[in-house]
Structure 1
Amino acid sequence: MTHLYKVGQMLNLRSAPRHSNRPTGPCEVVSCLPHNSGPVQYRVKSLGESNERVVEEADLSPSTATKADDMLSESVFSIAVNKR
């Protein structure tokens, strides 16, 4: 079984099972996790938070979101740091 999505791809994270604080919405694939059996898993980072999560492929769907909004805030910070 191979991974359907690639590192760097923007996807939609679907709602989590009950009793979870996992956000829904756009996220970026950080890595494709190795597996021998069971569901295909990915490490993803939601645009709205700083931590990464491990999710199953079934919880992801293609997205039209782009990284531009998130990258804008990072680039402003990196410019300020680089000018020191």
Structure 2
Amino acid sequence: MRHRYKIGQMLDLRSAPRHSNRPSGPCEVIACLPHDKGPVLYRVKSRGESNERVVEEADLSPSDAMKTVSAENESVFSIAISKR
């Protein structure tokens, strides 16, 4: 099965089932994770959090949210260099 969403795409994340602190709302796809079988997984980052989460494709839906200008101009490499 192929990934439906692409890196950098803004999506809506559904809240998690009971006993989880995962928030719902807009998030950005950071990575499409490899898989052989089972659910299609993504690494996403919610707007209101600094950490990233791994979620199933079924928990994501298209969004009208846009990336912030600063996030669009920042590459993965510049983030890694600035954190050293």
TM-score, scaled to structure 2: 0.81
For residues 15-50 of structure 1, what are the alpha-carbon distances to aligned partners after superposition, in whole Å with 9 as ceiling and x for unaligned? 101000001000000000000000000000000000
Alignment partner, residue 32 of structure 2 = 32
- Percent identity (aligned): 76
Alignment partner, residue 65 of structure 2 = 65
Higher-Rg structure is 1
CA pair 64-4 structure 1, distance change in 2 beyond 3 A = same
Q: Matched residues in 2 for 1:38 and 1:21: separation? A: 23
Deviation at 1:69, TM superposition (A): 6.8
Preserved contact between residue 44 and residue 53 of structure 1 (Cα < 8 Å) = yes
Q: Aligned residues, how many?
A: 73
Q: CA RMSD in A?
A: 1.7
- Structure 1 residue runs without a partner (length 5+): 75-84
Preserved contact between residue 47 and residue 70 of structure 1 (Cα < 8 Å) = no
Tell whether 2:43 aligns with 1:12. no
Moved more, 61-70 or 46-55: 61-70
- Structure 2 residue runs without a partner (length 5+): 75-84
Helix, strand or coil for the counterpart of 2:55? strand
